[in-house]
Amino acid sequence: MYAGNSRLIRANEDEDLAGTLFIGKKDLLEVGGYDERLQDYGGEQKDLLERLDKNRMRRLNIDYSTLLHNHYDGEAERGLTSRQVENLVEEAVNLELREKVPMWNSLEAWRSFSFIPESMLEPNASVPSRIHANVQYRDIVGRSQVPSIRDVLMDSAVDTTKGKVLSRMLHEWFDMPSDFTDLLDGSDKDRILYALLEKRQTASRFTTPRVLVMHCVGGLIPRLFALASGLAIANHTDRLPIVVWEKEAPLVTALFQELFEVQEHFMVAGIYTKQFFEKYTEDQKSGEEMRSMQVYDLAGQQEASSKLIHTSSGTHIFIRASKAVGADVVRYTSPMSIREQFQMLALEESVQSRLRDLADKGISERLGIYVGESEPYENSDITDLGTIMKEKVEAVRPGALPPAYIVSDLPTFERIRPVFGSIIHNLPLSMDCTAEDIDCSRTELVRLFALTKTREFISIQEAQEDDLSELVMLLRGHSTDW
Residue 29 lies in a domain: yes
The pLDDT of 20-43, averaged and rounded, is 31
Instruction: Choose between 57 and 311: higher pLDDT.
Output: 57
279 and 341 fall within a common domain: yes
Residue 396 lies in a domain: yes
> Of 231, 266, 301, at which residue does a domain stop?
266
Residue 128 lies in a domain: yes
Q: What residue numbers bound the domain in which 256 lies?
A: 139-266
159 and 192 fall within a common domain: yes
SS (H, E, C) the chain: CCCCCCEEEECCCECCECCEEEECHHHHHHCCCECCCCCCCCHHHHHHHHHCCHHHHHHHCCCHHHHCCCCCCCCCCCCECHHHHHHHHHHHHHHCHHHHCCCCCCHHHHHCCCCCCHHHHCCCCCCCCCCCEECCCCCCCCCCCCCCHHHHHCCCCCCHHHHHHHHHHHHHHHCCCHHHHHHHCCCCCHHHHHHHHHCHHHHHHCCCCCCEECCCCCCHHHHHHHHHHHHHHCCCCCCECEEEECCHHHHHHHHHHHHHCCHHHECEEEEECHHHHHHHHHHCCCCCCCCEEEEEECCCCHHHEEEEEEECCEEEEEEEEECCCCEEEEEECCCCCHHHHHHHHHCCCCCCCCHHHHHHCCCHHHCCEEECCCCCHHHCCHHHHHHHHHHHHHHHCCCCCCCEEECCCHHHHHHHHHHHCCCCCCCCCCCCCCCCCCCCCHHHCCCCCCCCCCCCEEEECCCCHHHHHHHHHHCCCCCCCC
- Asked if residues 386 and 450 have their Cβ atoms less than 8 Å apart, the reply is no
403 and 465 fall within a common domain: yes
Query: Which pLDDT score, from 0 to 100, does residue 191 have?
Result: 41
Residue 158 lies in a domain: yes
The pLDDT of 333-346, averaged and rounded, is 31
* pLDDT band at residue 337 using 50, 70 and 90 as cut-offs: very low
166 and 248 fall within a common domain: yes
Query: Which pLDDT score, from 0 to 100, does residue 276 have?
Result: 33
Residue 1 lies in a domain: no
Rg for the chain (alpha carbons), in Å? 24
Residue 2 lies in a domain: no
Helix 338-346 to helix 248-260 angle (10° resolution) is 150
342 and 387 fall within a common domain: no
442 and 337 fall within a common domain: no
The most confident of the ranges 11-15, 413-417, 473-477 is: 413-417
Side-chain half-sphere CA neighbours of 16 within 13 A: 7
390 and 473 fall within a common domain: yes
- Nearest alpha-carbon partner for 390 in 416, 358, 354: 416
301 and 382 fall within a common domain: no
327 and 386 fall within a common domain: no
Q: Structurally, how many domains does the chain consist of?
A: 4
125 and 19 fall within a common domain: yes
134 and 145 fall within a common domain: no
Query: Which pLDDT score, from 0 to 100, does residue 282 have?
Result: 38
284 and 323 fall within a common domain: yes
Query: Which pLDDT score, from 0 to 100, does residue 317 have?
Result: 33
Question: 50-54, 179-183, 453-457: which range is least confident on average?
Answer: 453-457
> Of 291, 322, 353, at which residue does a domain stop?
353
Instruction: Read off the pTM.
Output: 0.19
Residue 200 lies in a domain: yes
Residue 239 lies in a domain: yes
* pLDDT band at residue 252 using 50, 70 and 90 as cut-offs: very low
Write out pLDDT tens, residues 38-56: 223 333 433 433 444 443 4
> Of 77, 104, 138, at which residue does a domain stop?
138
Write out pLDDT tens, residues 202-216: 333 322 222 233 322
